[in-house]
Amino acid sequence: MSEEAPATTAGVGQTRDDTPASKPQPRADPGLWLVATPIGNLGDISGRALAVLASVDRVACEDTRRTGRLLARHGISARLVSYHEHNAARVRPALLRTLVGGGSVALVSDAGTPLISDPGYKLVCEAVSAGVRVSGCPGPSAPLLALILSGLPTDRFYFGGFLPSKAGPRREALATLCSLDATLVLLESPRRLPASLADMEAVLGPRPAAVARELTKLHEEVRRGSLDELAGHYAAGAPKGEVVIVVGGARGDAAQPALSDADIDERLDRLLAAGSVRDAAAALSAETGLPRRELYTRALARSRTREECAVDP
């Protein structure tokens, strides 16, 4: 069961709306503080976040140099502890000792909101299990900003993190999302963007979508269009910078009607245009629940027909 923070709690993290965050305060309340940091524009950090970072016992961060620069810009000197995916298991016990002993630790990631495709989940789990209070200073997060800028429905959305980097598993992952009646929010590297968009178009069809690039930075761009338009645009070359892909969900009539043979063939043909017989069968099976073996046989036949058509005009 969740509880609201008591309104009377003193300390830096619990300033009320009418208390200026910049007002000097002694120490952050004990516990683990999850603090969001800018995703590009260094001005995007709250006064409360800065007050917490200035007054905790330790700031755990992915890259001490990067977080050190952010803090220095705001005149904050803090005890920084490196905490990233490669040393987390080793560093976590010491952080927990500080917390269990009544100290305060802030966790930040390189950019955005910690734990969102960034380290921190296990630290939070173990802090909760140890009865440590966990609080947060909310702020920037690239997937959420991309979603609200996309022009796509925001009432229901699904955050899928990074897609698999290899084409086969990526198409299978996309197929599992095919019937989801929610806007899809996915992270991608700029280098893989063209291939990912092509796979999305093959598996999800020509849905409305948006590519949000370099958000809050000098070259911020949100390109909106159907998946086939976007795949066509980026086929010319990978862009520079960081990107989030947002894709419209399955239409509201998601009570999936049974697929006719013609529907199945049409979907298999689309998948075959983008990949192998095996991948096409696996993707459609994951999407529809139809037996993979049957779909494989059918896809093989379609693929042979396609080859014959290609050599016999």
Question: Under rule CB under 6 A, how many of the chain's residues touch ligand SAM?
Answer: 22
Binding of ligand SAM at residue 88 (CB under 6 A)?
no
Binding of ligand SAM at residue 142 (CB under 6 A)?
yes
DSSP labels, 130-141: TT--EEEE----
User: Judged by CB under 6 A, which of 30, 112, 136, 239 binds ligand SAM?
Assistant: 112
Binding of ligand SAM at residue 242 (CB under 6 A)?
yes
Binding of ligand SAM at residue 141 (CB under 6 A)?
yes
Nearest to 178 by CA among 76, 285, 276: 285
Q: Least distance to ligand SAM from the beta carbon of 50, Å?
A: 18
Question: Which span sits near ligand SAM by CB under 6 A: 25-33, 211-219, 268-276, 283-291?
Answer: 211-219
Percentages (nearest 5) of helix, strand, coil residues in the chain: 40, 15, 40
Q: Least distance to ligand SAM from the beta carbon of 242, Å?
A: 4
Binding of ligand SAM at residue 244 (CB under 6 A)?
yes
Residue 163: C-alpha distances to residues 76, 78, 158, 174 (Å): 37, 35, 13, 8
User: In this structure, which amino acid lies at residue 3?
Assistant: E
Residue 159 φ/ψ, nearest 5 degrees: -95, 120
Within a 10 A sphere around the Cβ of 64, how many other Cβ atoms? 16
Binding of ligand SAM at residue 264 (CB under 6 A)?
no
Binding of ligand SAM at residue 14 (CB under 6 A)?
no
**Which residues, 23 to 82, sit near ligand SAM by CB under 6 A?**
39-40
**Helical (H) or strand (E) element with 245:** strand 243-247
Binding region for ligand SAM (CB under 6 A): 39-40, 109, 111-113, 116-118, 141-142, 187-188, 212-217, 242-244
